[in-house]
Amino acid sequence: MASSMRSLFSDHSRYVESFRRFLSHSTEHQCMQEFMDKKLPGIIARIGDVKSEIKILSIGGGAGEIDLQILSKVQVQFPGVHINNEVVEPSAEQITKYKELVAKTSNLENIKFAWHKETSSEYQNRVMEKKVLQKWDFIHMIQMLYYVKDISATLKFFHGLLATNAKMLIILVSGTSGWDKLWRKYGSRLPQNDLCQYITSSDLTEMLDGLGIKYECYDLLSTMDISDCFLDGNENGDLLLDFLTETCNFTTTAPPDLKAELMKDLQEPEFSIRKEGKILFNNNLSFIVIEA
């Protein structure tokens, strides 16, 4: 691996921008929206049974867009019931955006928000030190398990925080996605970093089976338009390639043979489909619902 290649996480502003481009060129949020509209109401149908308050824990809540969608579904299911929504998020920048979103969103009067600037493991350590385990009616982890070192221990810990009739929702890339194939083939040739690890729903369900935890898994189709990646000197394409490879300035720093092989693979059917002149990368998502 060429020494000039470095992890995308080493340049925070470029990572944030490449992630923004990914969201604008993928159906990621639309896919999540579809799940929230069609599947979530049935999943949360009993979490608030005979309760005067519903406790929700968001791990890695980000800027809050998906969190507020979840909360709106809970409000519809349990009208007038008070909701205590706590958010664990390590990025101060994301927490600020979340608070700004809450400030300009109506119909949140019955929801109390609290934010904790910490990682899931820091939260876990803090809770364990207190020796008083708060139980939750709904816990969700959306696209965040990649940033956890000991995933199995994390699953076991948070599963132990579920109250009666509670559910835990985990969203991450599917084992059928292009990400799975990309990581398996190229992971060892791309910059390694301690911040992020390659994990898909296939790895996660294997862990859950090993822990004896009951779950249901739903796969939803999602794509990412990577057409610009094949246009020389296209800034948008370069940023999307950075996101795909988790490499800062992949286009200019990757060894020519690696770049040529990866660019060829990205156009193959196991990674992408061609539709209406576009190259659409397989960004399929898995929604894993865990029972108490």
Binding-site residue positions for substrate: 28, 283
Binding-site annotation: residue ranges for S-adenosyl-L-methionine? 60, 89, 94, 120, 142
Dist CA 7 CA 94 (whole Å): 21
Q: Nearest 5°: phi and psi at 165?
A: 65, 5
Dist CA 15 CA 249 (whole Å): 10
Q: Which two tokens stand for residue 234?
A: 């296209």
Residues 6+ apart with CB under 8 A from 15: 8, 9
Compute how many other C-beta atoms are within 10 angstroms of the C-beta atom of residue 277: 6
Exposed/middle/buried for 276, CB within 10 Å: 0-12, 13-18, 19+? exposed
Exposed/middle/buried for 184, CB within 10 Å: 0-12, 13-18, 19+? exposed
